[in-house]
Amino acid sequence: MTESTTTTPESTATDQPATTDDPTLESVCEQLETLTDRVAEFEAEVERKDDRIEELEAQRDNDPIEINADGDTAGLTDIWIAGIPVGSILQNTTEDVDRAHSRLDDVQALASNNGASGAETTTESQNVETPLERICALPEHVADRELTSNQERARFIARDVRDYAEKAPAGLVLDSRTITKVLPR
């Protein structure tokens, strides 16, 4: 019998079984596709993280509180609110309070001087300041804004009480008829 001999064309990489030494075109395409997918995933993740970083930076820029210190050595002046160090804010507030106390002392001194003029008083009575004395010592613009109508009438009478009252052994006497006549209508 005669054996028939057939010639086979030369083999290519695609018709060979996959071996570890010689990858096929199909396996290379699969690996390339897998790597392309992974690169796309990484790019998407990097883009998400970039967006988050931009968001956090925008929040930080809009955040009025900021700490300008290295590590744990932050002091009060290293903490800033709205661009101003907290220490400066506290210092300014303290100065404002000191000025307010100074003005209050001035008003109290003025009130005690008004109450003591013309009448003999003891040092004990000069230290006692009544609500009427405090009302009389208020500046005109504050009195116009802050006092009730009864306080305004009392202030009006008390400021010129020596003109309306009669002298008595116990001090000054002012009867209701005189008050009625003196008060503006």
Task: Look at 16-25, 47-56, 134-143 and tell me which has the smallest mean pLDDT.
Answer: 16-25
Phi and psi, residue 179, nearest 5°: -60, -45
What's the residue count for the chain? 185
In eight-state DSSP terms, residue 119 is S
Residue 41, pLDDT score? 94
Residue 31, pLDDT score? 92
Q: Give pLDDT tens digits for 73-117.
A: 666 667 777 666 676 667 677 777 888 888 888 888 777 776 655
Q: Is the pLDDT of residue 146 over 60?
A: yes
Q: Where are the domains of the chain?
A: 25-64, 97-182
Please give the full DSSP string across 51-103, using - where no structure is assigned: HHHHHHHHHHHH-SEEE-SSTT---GGGEEETTEEHHHHHHHHHHHHHHHHHH
Q: Is the pLDDT of residue 152 over 60?
A: yes
Q: CA dihedral in degrees (108, 124, 153, 140; nearest 10)?
A: -20
Residue 128, pLDDT score? 58
Residue 34, pLDDT score? 93
Q: Is the pLDDT of residue 142 over 90?
A: no
Residue 118, pLDDT score? 47
Pairwise CA distance, residues 85 & 47, whole Å: 36
Residue 115, pLDDT score? 60
Q: Give pLDDT tens digits for 25-75.
A: 888 999 999 999 999 999 999 999 999 988 888 777 676 666 666 666 666
